[in-house]
A and B are shown apart, each in its own frame.
Chain A
Amino acid sequence: MHKEAAIREPLILGHKTYHDITEDVCKPIEDKAPRMWYILFGIALVIGLYGVGCILYLLGTGVGVWGLNKTIGWAWDITNFVWWVGIGHAGTLISAVLLLFRQKWRMAINRSAEAMTIFAVFMAGLFPLIHMGRLWLGYWVLPLPNQFGSLWVNFNSPLLWDVFAISTYLSVSLVFWYIGLIPDFATIRDRAKKPVSKKMYSILSFGWSGRAKHWNRFELISVVLAGLATPLVFSVHSIVSFDFATSIIPGWHTTIFPPYFVAGAVFSGFAMVQTLMLVIRKAMKLEAYIHTKHVEYMNIVIMVTGSIVGTAYITELFVSWYSGVEYEAYAFFNRATGPYWWAYAAMMTCNVVSPQLMWIRKLRRSLIFTFVISIVVNIGMWFERYVIIVSSIHRDYLPSSWSMHYPSHIDIGVYLGTIGLFFVFFLLFARYFPVLALNELKTILKSSGESYKNGDAEVHPKPKPLAGSSLVIEAEVETKEKTSEISTEDSNSTNPAGELLAIVGNSSADSKNDLKVIKGIGPKLEDTLNSIGIWSYDQLAKMSKNEYSLLDGLIGKFAGKPEKDDWANQAKELMNTNNQ
């Protein structure tokens, strides 16, 4: 089992058992949805449908309904695309990168963060698709043999790289997410009472049975997929940044784009996770699993990535001046002081100043403050993309074609619509899917659960006597017989304490050592040991496997501890240091 330092804050608060975890996560799915859910779902659906209407109007009329002009050929569509892809970075980062780093706190948030990722990438994918204008010719981006004399797609183009990157990212994230979901669906299936939901969840769970071999494969595939998804998640936003960085437009032609876009993506993704998780934990009563410590960890990630983004902004400014290229310098000067100064100022305050507040422990542990900052960061990151895209192209080389971008109501409608659709998907997810990786959480319960850490619950419980359960076909073997069977294996004596002392030697309170120095012995256990007759390091040092098992029988719920913490060796070391 995974061991965790005692001073670390527990990840699961209160006294939870395995069954409690199942119960807490499945309850919201099995119960009737609260009124609030229907209200939110209704609002999201209306906004989403309005967006769909705008998209249909756009497809029927043409891309001309967007507020673009011949100078600004790319604006809200690509801004929204990059914004959504960026948000979609947190999920895989949490589930893949944090898995490779063995960060156990990810388990409480990875499921919903991944769901968020997938829905965000859906929304992102919409923009290039509708940008094609003729959606039904979308398959032309694939290298298919065709009637134009086999004219292939251009593999030199970053836009095509994007097609491959986004679709790979979407499908791999989906698979990664679903493989983790299968065992949890099985849990819901086995609890389901209504025939319809039983049927649905048994289809969704693919007949998962929890065999040891399957879990063995499960653990491996999780690690390997995480290993594959980690470079993938970094590559995706790098490739998105190539859309700009490989062009020769001043303000876009920047070699630091890939790392800076990735940091920005993680930054905005974590902000969105915070926004959603803070609501979910309250609404679904999951405060014991997602608590201040989780929020603090995420805030630290926001702080770090926010600082990277801030550094990148300033580096960009410096390099534009230092490069000596006047067009480059002007692009940045215009960005900060030109007609789009307000967007630049919004970006700078939201993305550079606000994450720095997280250095203060009190603030990063405050849930309300976190919620506000998470929304501020998302607004800031939208403006970042808007600033980069629009402010770089609205004043090009020819002053007579300088222009401003004014979004049309279709621009705004499509954007709002994607937010609505995103929440439609997310609310459906929260209603029908387990929002926590419940079976994964059970693996950390004993190492990171509060009641296990402070010793209220036993990590290694003693088997309870077998009750006369009806399922036992022949209950001839009495529990008493059984215990005597076990103890005869260990010793032939009826008095284990006496036998133990016969081996390790007698001692008394006079030669008392401070046993609490030994790792694993607290004041309570020390009293128990003293009452058995163990007072000194000398006695403990003589113990080995056989004595440990005798001792286990005497110290009740602490059984197993002596061997686990290797008291004999610890005692020997203490004796050595005392003698020196």
Chain B
Amino acid sequence: MADRILYAMYDDEEILKDGAKMLVAKGVKVEEVFSPFPIHGIDPIIGIEQTRLGIFSFIYGMIGLTLATTGMWFFMIYDWPMNIGGKPSFSYLENMMSFIPITFEFTVLCAAHGMAITYLIANRTLPGMKSQNPDPRTTDDKFVMECRTSQNTQFSADELEKMMKSTGIIELEQKDI
């Protein structure tokens, strides 16, 4: 089935939010919202779940912690114990005090970078990627709501258009794909 995308443009995030609420109440599925800055409160309206990036970050941090611990145990205790200022060199636990700073730094390093990389990949924002916002003004001061007919089969394209127009939009663009 041919799909038609409707891009409704708003010039204020509050109007968009009201509009989205109204459309969702009528059973319209709002596919996407493009905005120059985060609109607080839009996620539950259009059914976006809280991201799980935080959990990922924790896992990466744990990996870093494990790596740092095993690494320092291997280097300093197992492979080549050295007598440095009389510090206990044959027991990880007794020598652990000196290992805490690097364990901490390495945990943060892995958590932060792992999370950042996951974030970029999950967003599909990587160097050289093409932008996908429907209108260049959506990174300035305009807000665009996207609905697709294929996701709103209970309405005809005209009905959908009419509903979107009644939400205080300033422009409406349609694209057949």
Contact = CB atoms under 8 A, between A and B. Distances in A.
Interface of A: 1-2, 17-19, 22, 143, 149-158, 160-161, 164-165, 168, 171-172, 175-176, 179, 182-183, 186-187, 189-191, 202-203, 205-221, 224-225, 228-229, 231-232, 235, 239, 242, 439-440, 442-443, 459-464, 466-467, 469, 471-474, 477, 482, 485-486
A440 B80 contact: no
Given A215-B39, A461-B14, A473-B172, A235 B167 contact: no
Given A207-B124, A211-B34, A442-B36, A22 B108 contact: no
Contacts of A187: 36, 139-140
Given A152-B79, A225-B112, A212 B46 contact: yes
Contacts of B14: 459-461
Contact of A171 (B40, B98, B109, B131): B109
B72 interface: yes
B24 interface: no
11 contacts: A155-B75, A207-B124, A210-B36, A212-B48, A216-B38, A216-B51, A239-B101, A442-B37, A443-B40, A463-B15, A469-B171
B116 A209 contact: no
B36 A217 contact: no
Nearest to A483: B166
Interface in B28-62: 32-43, 46, 48, 50-51, 53-54, 57
A2 B85 CA distance: 55
A242 B171 contact: no
Contact of B39 (A161, A212, A460, A466): A212
A235 B105 contact: yes
A196 to B, nearest CB: 16
B54 A224 contact: yes
Given A203-B128, A207-B129, A168 B75 contact: no
A225 B115 contact: yes
Given A207-B125, A220-B53, A485 B140 contact: no
Given A179-B116, A187-B140, A224-B115, A212 B108 contact: no
Interface string B63-97: 00000000110011001101011010000000100
B131 A221 contact: no
Interface residues of B, number: 82
A155 B85 CA distance: 13
Contacts of B79: 150, 152
B111 interface: yes
Contacts of B165: 466, 472, 477, 482
B40 to A, nearest CB: 6
Contact of A175 (B112, B136, B170, B171): B112
B113 A217 contact: no
A183 B140 CA distance: 10
B53 A190 contact: no
A168 B38 contact: no
B21 to A, nearest CB: 13
B151 interface: no
A228 B38 contact: no
A230 to B, nearest CB: 10
B139 A210 contact: yes
A380 B127 CA distance: 43
Contacts of A219: 38
Nearest to A22: B140
B141 interface: yes
B43 A216 contact: yes
B163 to A, nearest CB: 10
A466 B128 CA distance: 37
